[in-house]
Amino acid sequence: MPSYRVVGVRVESPSEQAMRDWFAQQVLESPKNIEEGARLLIGLVTGLLGVLFTVLAVAQNPLPAYLHLPYIRYLGALAVVLVLVGLVAALDVVLPREWRFKPAKPASELETFRQIVHYKSRSLTIASMAFGAGIAVMAIALVAALLTMS
C-alpha cells in the first residue's frame, strides 16, 4: 500500500470563506429566483394578451385592410401561439409538484435539489425563448402591417 505524506495545510482565508458562503447562499436562492422570473414572465404574457384581445375587441368593423393579408394573420397567430407556449412553460415552473427523496440519505436530498433546479431552469428557459420568439414574430407582423398601410 502506498504511503502518503501531507506536505502542508493552510487555513482558509476570510475572502475564500466569504466566497464559499456566497456560493452556498446562491445555491439555496436559485429556485426562488427562477420562480420569481417565471412569475414576472406570467405577468408580462397575461398583460400582453390582455392588450391584444382589447385591440381586437375594439377594432373597426370591418377590420383594417392589413388584417385581411394572410401573412399578417399567420404571423399574428404564430405570435399568439408562441406567447401562450411561453405562458404554459412559465406556469410549469411555479406549479407545485411532489418531489420524493430519502431523508436518511443526504446524497438523495442533494440529487433531488439538483433535479428541482434543473427542471425549473429548463422550463423557464423554454418559457423565455418562446416569449422572446413570440415578441419577435409580433414585431415583424407589426412592422409588416405598418409598411402595408397607405
> Does residue 6 have a pLDDT over 80?
no
The residue behind cell 407556449 is 85
Distance from C-alpha of 125 to C-alpha of 86, rounded to nearest angstrom:
9
Q: Where are the domains of the chain?
A: 33-148
Please confirm whether the linkage preceding 62 is cis (ω < 30° from 0).
yes
Closest CA to 127 of 43, 55, 57, 42: 42
Sign of CA dihedral 50, 60, 79, 143: negative
Question: Are the CB atoms for 141 and 75 separated by under 8 Å?
Answer: yes
Between CA 150 and CA 146 the distance in angstroms is 9
Q: What is the pLDDT of residue 28?
A: 78
pLDDT band of residue 150 (cuts 50, 70, 90) is: low
With 0.85 as the threshold, say if the pTM is over it: no
The string of pLDDT tens digits covering residues 27-79 is 778 888 899 999 999 999 999 888 887 777 666 677 777 777 889 889 989 99
- Average pLDDT of the segment spanning 84-98: 93
Residues whose CB is less than 8 angstroms from the CB of residue 109 and which lie 6 or more positions away in sequence, other chains included = 101, 102, 103
